Copies of this chain bind each other. A is one copy, B any other.
Amino acid sequence: MTAAARRRRVLVIDVGGTHIKLWLAGRKEPVKIDSGPHMTAAHMARAVRVITKDWHFDVITIGYPGPVKNDRPAREPFNLGDGWVGFPYQRALHHPVRIVNDAALQALGSYEGGHMLFLGLGTGLGSGLVLRGAIVPMELAHLPYRKGKTYEDYLGEDGRQALGNRKWRRHVFDVCDLFAKALLPDYILLGGGNVKHLATLPAGVRLGSNANVVRGGYRLWLPRERRAR
């Protein structure tokens, strides 16, 4: 790695349905921008440009709340405005930009080497692998689980509301066990907003945290072999 790469400063833009958070290494708290169903990619870019006018950074990582393919959003977000697919991020933000699914970003920040499966417990159910520092996005959520319903039907927010926390937790454990045996990861990382409703953790399962989003955003710009802790 060159000295330049070592000092690379990364702005991390974590795009969410209620807030867009701007993280810069060295700052304790992110700056929050209100988002919502009218927030388009162009609005986001304008707000980011204004707020970060005097900030110093070299590159940008965006955590996107939806599937990402080839470094670009592959589907418009559920809880935001339109215009996210095909938006010229790099041009609008005046910096090199890499985009990755938000659950994957938290996962990469929590990665400790080996073969990691991550599950994002939020409105939906995010999933993917990190293998030798490379993110492998997946959509396990929509596979059949029980009684003609999918993993997401049970583990997503609607499932939690319908089941109640006690039963929902039991299914989280059950699905971790099924996926551990099927995908043979060295460990499972649980992230996403709903991990706060878990009381305990199954063996071989770890918790991600929001702080890992910043680290994930930074690591995305490192070579794959340097992305583990």
Interface residues of A in 131-172 (CB under 8 A from B): 131-132, 134, 136-146
Does B184 lie within 8 Å of A139, measured CB to CB?
A: yes
A115: Cβ under 8 A from any B Cβ: yes
Output the least CB separation between A11 and chain B (Å).
28
Does B137 lie within 8 Å of A184, measured CB to CB?
A: yes
Query: Which of B136, B143, B146, B181 is A131 in contact with, Cβ under 8 Å?
Result: B136
A182: Cβ under 8 A from any B Cβ: yes
A211: Cβ under 8 A from any B Cβ: no
B-chain residues with CB within 8 Å of residue A181 when the two chains form the complex: 139, 142
A198: Cβ under 8 A from any B Cβ: no
Nearest B residue (CB) for A180: B139
Does A144 lie within 8 Å of B142, measured CB to CB?
A: no
With A and B bound together, what is the CA distance between A138 and B182 in angstroms? Answer: 6
A142-B184 contact, Cβ under 8 Å, with A134-B131, A136-B131: no
Nearest B residue (CB) for A74: B184
B-chain residues with CB within 8 Å of residue A85 when the two chains form the complex: none
A92: Cβ under 8 A from any B Cβ: no
Output the least CB separation between A142 and chain B (Å).
6
A143-B178 contact, Cβ under 8 Å, with A131-B134, A132-B134, A136-B115: yes
With A and B bound together, what is the CA distance between A130 and B115 in angstroms? Answer: 14
With A and B bound together, what is the CA distance between A63 and B141 in angstroms? Answer: 33
Does A138 lie within 8 Å of B184, measured CB to CB?
A: yes
B-chain residues with CB within 8 Å of residue A140 when the two chains form the complex: 182-183
Mask of A183-197 contacts with B, CB within 8 angstroms, 1/0: 110000000000000
Query: Residues on A close to B: CB < 8 A?
Result: 115, 129, 131-132, 134, 136-146, 178, 181-184
| A-B residue pairs, 10 tightest by C-beta | A143-B182, A140-B182, A139-B182, A138-B183, A138-B184, A143-B178, A139-B181, A137-B184, A131-B131, A144-B144
